[in-house]
Each structure stands twice: as C-alpha cells, then as structure tokens.
C-alpha cells in the first residue's frame, strides 16, 4: 500500500461513453501526476498538478480532461476515446522538490471498445 489509491482498477468503455478515473493520496503531498503506460512504450507523462494548479500538459488530446479540486484528489475525465487509448493509467504523487520520489497508485486498466 503506497498511500495512493486509484479507482476503478478496471474499466471497459465504448467510444461514445463518458467516464472518470479517480485518484486519492493520503500522504500530504502537493504534486500529483497522470501517466499513461501502453504495451511496449515508455511511460508517458500526461499531466502535472502542483498545489492544485496544472503545470504540465504534454500535448495530450482534449478527449482527456484532468481535474484537481484539492491537493489530495485528482481526476481524469474521459470522453469519446479511441481504441488506441486503451492502456494502464497511473496516478502518482510527490512532495515538492527535485530530491523527492513519487509514489504510484496501482493503476486503472482501461479498455476502449
């Protein structure tokens, strides 16, 4: 148990559906991240929030919409996804500073049909 909880663990959705992924951290961290992990590809950093402010958006398509209502919660809203968006979506959090490691949730396995 890393202190970062993601729900749901598995999600199957159609291309016209709207769904949301949730992440919650109980570590008192002030930075939160979304990563995408696809088979045979490096982890892709999608979004970064510091103190609830979005500081990074790595050219992610608008069908992915993040939300960070407070420093403990992070959401990823999904809308009209494509089959190639099927992947493991990982949330992480860290304390501010370059010397700090990030702690990851167990991920949401997303399948788009």
Partner 1 sequence: AQSVAQPEDQVNVAEGNPLTVKCTYSVSGNPYLFWYVQYPNRGLQFLLKYITGDNLVKGSYGFEAEFNKSQTSFHLKKPSALVSDSALYFCAVRDGSGSQGNLIFGKGTKLSVKP
Contact status, residue 84 vs residue 111, Cβ threshold 8 Å: no
Among positions 76, 90, 110, 112, the unique one binding partner 1 when judged by CB under 8 A? 90
> Of 83 and 98, which CB lies nearer to partner 1 in the complex structure?
98
109 binds partner 1 (CB under 8 A): yes
Q: Binding to partner 1 (CB under 8 A): which residues in 9-28? A: none
> Of 48 and 112, which CB lies nearer to partner 1 in the complex structure?
48
Among positions 49, 85, 104, 110, the unique one binding partner 1 when judged by CB under 8 A? 104
For every residue of 21-60, DSSP letters joined together read: EEEEE-S--SEEEEEEE-TTS--EEEEEEETTEEEEE-S-
Q: Is 84 helix (H, G, I), strand (E, B) or coil?
A: helix
102 binds partner 1 (CB under 8 A): yes
How far are the Cα atoms of 22, 58, 78, 110 from residue 65, in angstroms, in the given order? 12, 12, 7, 15
Interface contacts to partner 1, rule CB under 8 A: 2, 4, 6, 31, 33, 41-43, 45, 48, 50, 55-56, 90, 92, 94, 96-107, 109
């Amino acid at each position: 148990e890393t202190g970062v909880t993601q729900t749901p663990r598995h999600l199957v959705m159609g291309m016209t559906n709207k769904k949301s992924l949730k992440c919650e951290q109980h570590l008192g961290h002030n930075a939160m991240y979304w990563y995408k992990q696809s088979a045979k590809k490096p982890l892709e950093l999608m979004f970064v929030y510091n103190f609830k402010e979005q500081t990074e958006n790595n050219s992610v398509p608008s069908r992915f919409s993040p939300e960070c209502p407070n420093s403990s919660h992070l959401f990823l809203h999904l809308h009209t996804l494509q089959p190639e968006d099927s992947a493991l979506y990982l949330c992480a959090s860290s304390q501010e500073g370059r010397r700090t490691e990030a702690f990851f949730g167990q991920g949401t396995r997303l399948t788009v049909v």
